[in-house]
Amino acid sequence: MKKMPGTAMIMAAGKGTRMMPLTATKPKPLVKVAGTTLLDHVLDLLREAGVGRIVVNVHYFPEQIEAHLAAKADDFDVVISDERELLRDTGGGLIKALPLILDDPFFCINADNWFADTDEHALHRMAAAWDAERMDVMMLVVPTQRAGNSQGQGDFDLDGAGRLSREGPRRARPYVWTGIQMLARHIVTDPPADVFSTNVFWDRAIAQGRCHGLVHNGAWFDVGYPEAIGLTEAALANG
C-alpha cells in the first residue's frame, strides 16, 4: 500500500434538511443508525484506516458536534473549521478548511452514508490506487444497482481508464458517488464565491481527465433522509 493520507475532512456543517424532523434538535451527523451516530461511523472508518488528523466543519448546532468530538481526543487530532457565521456549502467549506489540512492528497468524507467493506478497507484501496501524475480527484463509487436507498439515477459514467464523467443531459448513469473522495490540495483553489459546491472542483478535474473513480466492493447505503434509517437497519440485520 502507498502512504496513507494522514488527514481527513468530515463535512458536518449542513442543516440536514432532508433528514427533518430528526434534525430539528440536533445535527445530521449525530443521528443514529443501528445505535451508532453517522459521525462515529465515519470516525470508525478513519480509525481503522490509520488516519490520525480530522478536520470537521461546523455550522448547525455546532456545540453538539464539538462536544461529541471532544471525547475523541485520545484517538484523533481534532481540528474544527468554524462556519458559524456563514454556511459555505461543500466547496466553500473546503476552501476555508484548507489551511488546516496538512496532507496532500487528503480524504474528504460526507457524514450521511453507511458502508461496509469486504476483504480490504476502502480507504486503503483508495490510497493504493492514487496516482498523483494522473489524478486530482478520486471518488469511491458504487454501481447504481448496489446503491442502497439511493433516490437518484446515478451520478457518473466510468471509462476503461478509470476516469469519471457526466457529460450531456441528465440521465440514468451507472455509478453513484459514496460520499468518500481523495483530493489533491492544488485542485482546491480559485473559489467562484464564498458559498459554492465541490462540483466546481470536480468539473475542472473532469475537463482535464483527472477525475477518477474506484468501485467500492462492499455494501453502501444513502442515509440522508429519515426513511432510509429503518431500511438500512433492516438490511444490516439481514446481513
pLDDT at 171: 84
pLDDT at 118: 67
| R_g of the chain computed on alpha carbons | 17
Q: Find all residues with CB under 8 Å of 63, minimum gap 6, and list them.
A: none
pLDDT at 74: 87
For residue 142, give the C-alpha cell: 458504487
Pairing of β 77-82 and β 53-58: parallel
Is 30's pLDDT higher than 80? Answer: yes
Is 1's pLDDT higher than 70? Answer: no
**What proportion of the chain, given as a percentage, has pLDDT over 70?**
99
Q: What is the mean pLDDT of residues 4-8?
A: 95
pLDDT at 172: 82
pLDDT band for position 2 (cuts 50, 70, 90): confident
Residue 121: burial class (beta carbons within 10 Å; 0-12, 13-18, 19+) = middle
Alpha helices in 77-119 (DSSP H): 89-97
pLDDT band for position 125 (cuts 50, 70, 90): very high
pLDDT band for position 28 (cuts 50, 70, 90): very high
CA atoms within 13 A on the CB side of 5: 27
Give the CA diameter of the chain. 48
pLDDT tens-place string over residues 33-45: 999 999 999 999 9
- pTM equals 0.95
Q: What is the mean pLDDT of residues 111-136?
A: 90
For residue 194, give the C-alpha cell: 464564498
pLDDT tens-place string over residues 152-199: 788 999 999 999 999 888 888 999 999 999 999 999 999 999 999 999
Is 150's pLDDT higher than 90? Answer: no
**Structural domains of the chain in order of their starting residue, each with its CATH number:** 7-237 (3.90.550.10)
Q: Rounded CA gap, 189 and 16, in Å?
A: 26
DSSP conformation letters of 94-144: HHHHGGG--SSSEEEEESSEEE--SSS-HHHHHHHH--TTT-SEEEEEEEG
- What is the pLDDT of the chain when averaged over all its residues? 94
Give the H/E segment covering residue 40.
helix 38-49
Q: How many residues does the chain have?
A: 239
3-state secondary structure of 157: strand
Strand pairing partners for 109? 10, 180
Q: Cβ(225)–Cβ(113) under 8 Å?
A: no
pLDDT at 168: 81
In single-letter form, the type of residue at position 142 comes to V
